[in-house]
Every structure is written in structure tokens, then in C-alpha cells.
Structure 1
Amino acid sequence: MSATLLFFNLISLSICPSLSASVVEDLNNLLPPPDFNTTISNNCLREPSLRYCNYSSIDLLEIFKSTIVAAHLCNESKNPNCVESFPKIDLQSSPRIAPLYLSFSFFWKYCPLTILSIDLSNNSIEGPFPLEILNCTQIHALDLSHNQLTGDLPIESFTSLTNLTLLNLSYNHFSESKISDSHFFARFNSSNFLHSGLLPDHKGFRIKAVILLVCFPILVILIVACWGWLCFCRPDILPSVFQQRHKFTPTMLKTATSGFSEKNLVGKSRGVEIYKGVLTDGTEVRIEIYTEKISMEQRRKFVKECKVLVQLRHRNLVRVMGWCNRGRLRAIITEWMDGENIEMWLSGSPPWKHRLKVLKGVVDGMRYLQEQWPEIGYDLRTSGVLLSQERGPLISRFKVGEQNGSSRKTYRFGVFLLEIITNRRPQEEFEKGETGFIEWVSTHYPGNTQKVIDERIKKTGTMYEQATEGIELALMCTDLTLGHQPSLTQISNKLKAYESSLVSSSPNNKKSHRERGESHKL
């Protein structure tokens, strides 16, 4: 009798009555018949090639369990006569039971020699390649396609499968094979390894290469374009290391002013529009836009002047933060000041000591410019000098390349000083403007200064005396006769003396002196 018949006779004797039961139930409930040991011994004598005969120690229970699984698996695979033959294992598209039979390692250990074909395709089997199947070394065909197998394929384990002519591993997720010997793959049709991951996907590689060759340049172009746009239009949102200091773009200014909205427009005159804006870092700024068209040469001069103005650093000068000279937009950006200008401030009748503080601050700013930036001119009209939150004066309007020398600047301070003392507006109240204003003051000085000094300044005491002396100082500043004007240092010393005199003559200071004197007597 052949080995196959011997094996299936054993199956028939053992479990044919219970073929209708499940394999798990039979494995748990059935026991080997009393003569099972004798049957196994006789089989090995008759057919020594049987797999269970090749082990040094025979595990009868394990062999018996393998016959139970074989009986069920033969039936599940729809073999025509499981007592006479078992040529194939066909569990294609049986994802419910295929993993179960794969788990029976003892069955594959004693795989029947009659099995020539194994089909476990389309079962979504996961994990590494099931090495137990390779115990069936006699098989001619093995199909594990359309599963989820991963990892390396144990190619060396196929050496003993000399009869294997069909191996289908398509549509899995194996790691790409990195062997130099290609004889293994030459044994089988390449169509049996489609999308298995074992062989390079040349079509996919070509697609990826085309995508890379097309998309990479596009990506580079987009990155360069995006970077160029940021650098050209919105450098303020770049890291500080890439930002261009002091240079503003139209997009930045448009963003800061909500699109140059009407609510941000705080002033407008011929050729100039003034906006309040907020930069991306929260800084409030004053944006002065010039609408007048100028030549390219004038634009270059404008930028050159702005590069000088951003370097000014003094507590009595408005800080120039930068400029814009892009397209049709030309603007200067300075720090925002919520305070009023001196002209508005004077309408509130400030006391003399506060006016003196403003005068001293203006002179300090003038001295800084004279010593550090003599080429810069400035506007000292009361409408052009601002007040900080600490009530300090801020010169806000500058002109680089001012041709007027120190004499003219001193003259301008003289007019400013007269405006502070008299609280008059030369351009509005006098027919000849500043000239008429100076002539009017000169007419009443020194005999009738009460008509000149602001009526809200006390007409007696130290303050009145200082105001009177201030008129004399102002007239000296406006006297352009050679050698009669005082220097800024002399003016500064004079104002400091006025401050000291006010402190010493204050009631609290006199009381303090008196108390110290009485204490000394005691």
C-alpha cells in the first residue's frame, strides 16, 4: 500500500465519524485509538519516507492531532476523496479559517506527501512569511498573493523545494530583495512578483522620477517666488536676521494702516497725507506719505536723506524709524506721538516753568544736531515741535543738506522763543509774518513789555523778570548782524540759570532755607 493510502487509512480509522465537527472541537475532544502506536509503527515499516518516521522520538499525540487537521483541511480544500487522496490545499479567499490552519505548526511539521499545491491567496494574512509551509518540500505550486505579508523573504529556505515551479507572491509588502544572485527570480515568471515589494518597481520608479523632475523645479520656483515676495513685500514677517532695517514696503504700510483706511488718516495737506499705523510687532507709527511726483534723481536724494535721519538718537528728537521708496509710494515712518504740538499746548496757558522746560529741551536737541549732524536742518515752528508723554519737546521735522548755517538756526530759535513768551502766531496774526512779529515785539521792548508777554504769565516776580529777559535774548537771536547772536551753549546756560533761579525763589525752597537757618541758630 502507498504512503498516501497508509496515511489516510489512519485518518479514516481515527476521525471519519466526526468529520462534521469543527477542527478545534476535534483537537480538544478526540483521543488516539488504543492501537494508534501499532499503526504508526507499521506505517513506518512499510513506508519509511513518511515525515513522522524521520524523527528520533515520535510524539504520538502530535501526530494524531496532525491527522485531525489533515482530515478537516482536505475537506475544506474540496478534494474529491479525502480517504484516497489529498493533492491540494485550497483556502483561497477564506480569511476566516486560513490563519487558523496556518497556526497548526504540527500539521505542517508532518505535511502529507500527497499535497502538491497550496493556495492561501487573498486572505489578508499579516506578518512575516509563514516558514512552516516550506516543510511541504514536495509541492509544485505555492500561492500567497494578495495578502499583507511583510519583512524579508527567506529565499535560502526555498533551496529544498526542488519541485516548486509556481510561486506567486504578488501584492504583498515584502522588503526589496538585495541579493546578487538572481537565479531564484529566474525560476519563476516575474508576473508572480508584481507589487510584492521584492523587485524594484521600474514603472513606479519612472513615475517618481518624472514627478521629481517636474515637481522639484516647480517647488523650487514656488519657494524662490514665495521667498522673493516676502523679501520684496513683507520682510517684516521674516526672521530678524533676514530683515532690511529701516526699509518699509507698500504692502507693510498698507497692512499697518488697514489698507490706508479713512479712520487711520489723521492729517492731510497739499502733497502730504499722514496716517497712524501699527506694525506687526505692535509698534505704533506715524506714516507721512508724499503724493507729489518727483524725478528719479530726487528720489535717490530722498533715500540718501532718510539713511541719515534714521541714525538720529536724542531724547528731544522724534525717532525716524525708516522710509518707503517703492513704486509710486514715497513715505517717512516715525514713532507715533499721542501728545499735542507746542502751538496747541500754549492755548492751555501752561505756567512759565513748563515753558522753560520746553525751551531747554529744544536747545538740547539743537546742540546735539549742531555737534553731530550740522548738515541737518529742522523746523522750529510751534506747530512742528511735539510734546512727549513726559511733556518733553520733540523736534519732528528735518531737512538733510540744509544750506542755512548756525546763524539761521539761532534766528529760528529766537522766533520760537518769542512765540513761547507771547503766545502769538506770526504767520496768522501779522501781515508781514515773522518780520512783522519781530518788529512788533521790538517796538514794545523794553518800555512796554506787558503788552508783549502772554497775559497768563504773572506780571510780577521772578517769572516776569525771566520772561522780560527772554524777550531780550530772543531779539538777540533774531539779530542777524554779524557778532550779535549768542551761541547755543550761551543760550543753554542762560536757560539753566533761569531754572535754578526759579527753584531758589519758590515758596517751598524759601521755607526750607529759613528752617535750615533757624536750626543752625539752635
Structure 2
Amino acid sequence: MKGARKMNSNSMASSLKLFIPLFVSSIFLSISAATVVEDLANLHPPSDFNTTITSNCLKDPSLRYCSFSPMNLDEIFRFTIVASHLCNQSKNPNCVESFPRIDLSSQPKTAPLYLSFSFFWKYCPISILSIDLSNNSLKGTFPTDILLCTQIQALDLSHNLLSGDLPLQAFTPLTNLTLLNLSYNLFSESRISDSEFFFKRFNNSSSFLHSGLLPNHKKYRIKAVVILVGFPISVLMLVGGFWWLCFKNKHKYSNSVLKAATNGFSRKNMVGKGEGFAIYKGILRNGTQVRIEMYYLNNSSNNISRENCRKFVEDCKILVQLRHKNVVKVHGWCSDRYSRALVTEWTGEVSLDMWVSESAPPWKQRLKVLVGVLKGMCYIQEQWPEVGYDLRTSSVLVHENAEPLIARFKVGENSSTKKIYRFGVLVLEMVTNGRVMREEFEGSEAGLLECFKMHYPGNLQKLIDERMELTENTFEQAKEAIGIGLLCTDHSINRQLSLGQIFNMITRIYAACLVLATQNHKTSYADGGRGHKRV
């Protein structure tokens, strides 16, 4: 490595784009694992490395290290060296710009070394789709750092000696992962309630044979019998239910039914009111609790035009088909010459605004809500792009287990830029105490944005909700989320962020938060509960 230390820094920087050039990698290929660790600690970036990294981020903002502020140049420099060497070690055809796979199968001496490079997994290249660490006799618990590569599609950790509990929740952000091989390991058997959905999400090429995770065969025999008996019954019920929905006009409610459900639209049943609408809690004749949003006439006539009635019904026929855990379920509608109403599920009517202001949820729960909102947005964009929605802390509801629900819709609003802008504002209001900030700025959204722009990134302590009691690490995560929120609200940038890019950024932060929470729990237990330094 003496030759590597003496390389001219100028020639090194001019050759660097995303990874260190191949001739640096060839030096690493011929040295031992101990020398790699020793030399990585002694290597430092050249003088113009900052310029090179800045240029990279301007060309491709999706690079992982571009989202960190401030950047740790020593860490990024070591990442580029390891990435270049690892690309060659995995026999990828192109190791200058990007590589699609990490293949360290049957390399028991080098595989543990790469797993120890936490800075590499922190900046894991988004081009990596496959990771193979099989047949390496790896010991210890599941290597959670590799799950920071949230975009991967295939992961193979078979034929190792990994043990302990599998971190099922840490897999949640890995929405693209369809192939998982954990066979021939020593994991602890997961409870069926925790793991049943987990096993179903992977394709037939996945394997958990002799992993220690699968329940015993007796339980599977019982499950097979239930499926064989229950499947025909389910089909019959599905067909019968479809017929009932199609021919019995279940979704349409009369004004008299809604009036009876709300005790004559009494003030006692009113839970909210706005310009042109009022929200009531009601109980239908079958005992179902519902949320009834009544719309007032906005013209001088005494009734609603036939065209407006027709358009409203057509919109509602679309809304009743929405099916997602982060989108409120629409039961039906009421439409006649005198009134219009939308009937949805009752969720307790706790808005994000109330939840943040009154409950003071921790940072992890706020991140979970942001991920849930994004999942609902992605579902609507992919399945029902004609459906618009009002994405405000006052209109997004919070259901059980901190699951957010997009609750107010308007069919025909297709502006993705507006939706992304609204999500950016939502992020900023979720990081701070939204109600306090609005009172300070007299409800001015522009004032809120200007305040964040003025204090970002160096003086955010005044704006972040102090009730979250952030640690140094979670404070950096909150700062990163604020940066994403400001990007979403900035119409002046040349390249507008897509919803997919925003989803990947937020889910990566959430994955890191889950991993950090697990590590902190173990550390707190080990040090007698003394905790961690708060910001």
C-alpha cells in the first residue's frame, strides 16, 4: 500500500467519478484483509476531492452520499475505495460508474470484512440489485447493515451460521425484495403471527429450508387443511359478495338514512366544519360507525344541477374502489337535487395536526407516518391517477398503530407537482410542532417555509419539536428529512423530484432509524439503561 499512499492527489481526483479507478482496486486485490483495514484508516482524500463529489451530485442527485449534509469526505472517500474493490471482487463487467451485484459467495475470509464496513452500506449504491453472501460460515446475528440497500431485489445468506431473531420489521422498507434465501442457518423460530405475512411476500425461488425460522410441520398440515376447506368457501362468498355489490346498489345512501344516522344532523354529532362542508359522526342501521361529509350548495339556486349530480356520482363510483391501508375506505355516497354527501369509515377523527400537537410522538413514529402517507400516494398514482387528494395535517387522519389515512379526495386533480409540494410541507410540519409554528406565522405557509430555508442546515434546533428528544444520530435523520421537504417545495430546481425518488429517500431514513433503534435498545440494556446523549 505504500505505492497507493504516494499516488498523486491531482491525477487521482481527475480520474474519480463515482468510484476510485480500477488501478487502485488492483492494489487492494493483492493484500490481506488486515492490511485493508489498516490502510483505509490511514488514507485521506486528495485536496480537490470535495469538488469531484460536488460535481457527481450535480450530475446525479440520487447518489446516496448526496443526501447527507454535511458530507463526511473521509467516509465517502473510503466508501469509493471499498466500492471499487468490491465491484472487482464480485466480477462485475463495469466497475467505473456502477455495478448491479455483490457476489461474495464462498469467500469466508473476505465476506466478514466487507460486512464490517458500515460506511459502505450507509452509502450503498442504488445500482445494486443483488447481494450474495452464501456459504461463508458467517456467525452472529443477522447483518442488518445490508438492509440499508433498500432497492435490492435478491438477497442470499444461505449456508451460514447466523443465529438469533430475524428483524422482520427491518425488511418493511425493502419493497423491491422478492427473492430471499436464508436456508441452512440457525435463526430462532418466528412466531406465526409475526412471520406469516413475511413469508408470503417472497417468490417461489426464495428458500427458508433448515433456517430455523419455519414453524413445525404439524402446524403446516393444519394450515393446509384450512386452506383446502376455506378456499372454496371464500370463492363462493366472493362471488356472492360481488353479485350483491353489483345488483343491490350497496354504495348509495338516501338523505333520510344519513339523517337518521346522525340524529337529524345534530350539532352533537358534528365533528368538523369547513367552507362549504360539515363532517358528522353517524351510526348506520347495521351498527356501522361512519364519517359523513356533507357538502353545501355554493350557488344561489335551491337545488343541484343534474350535471353536477351526475359528475359527483361518477367520482364517487371511483372512490369506493380505493383499497389501501393508508387510504380511508369510502363506503358510499348520497346525491339528489338537494344534498350531496360522502360516507367513509369512521377512524376516530384524529388528524395529524392533533396527533403531533397533543401526543408528541417520537421521531420513529413520525417517520412511520410519512412512509405510510407515501405508500398511499404511490398506490393512488399507480392505480387511480385521476384521483386527487388534500394532503394537509388537518385533513390526513391517524388510525390505529400510527397508520395515516389520506381522507379527502377530489377526482380530476392530476398535478403531481402540487402533490409533491404538499408532501414537502407535510414533512416540515411533522418535524416541528405544526400548530405552534402556524400560530407563530399566523397560518402563513409561506412564512413557515421561509423560516426553514433561513435556518437550514445549520440552526434547526429552534424549529425541530424538542419533545421528540432526538439523539445526535436521529437529529441528523431529521435534518435529512427537512432537506427532502425543502426540495419538494422548491419549484426553482431544474430537476423536480419524482414520487419514487422521495419514497426511496424517506424509506431509507426509516430503515436506518429502525436499525438504530435496535442497536440502541441493545446498547441501553448492556450499559445498565444509562441511555444515549440527547441533542
Greater RCO (CA < 8 Å, at least 6 residues apart):
2
Who wins on radius of gyration, i.e. which is larger? 1
TM-score (norm 2): 0.48
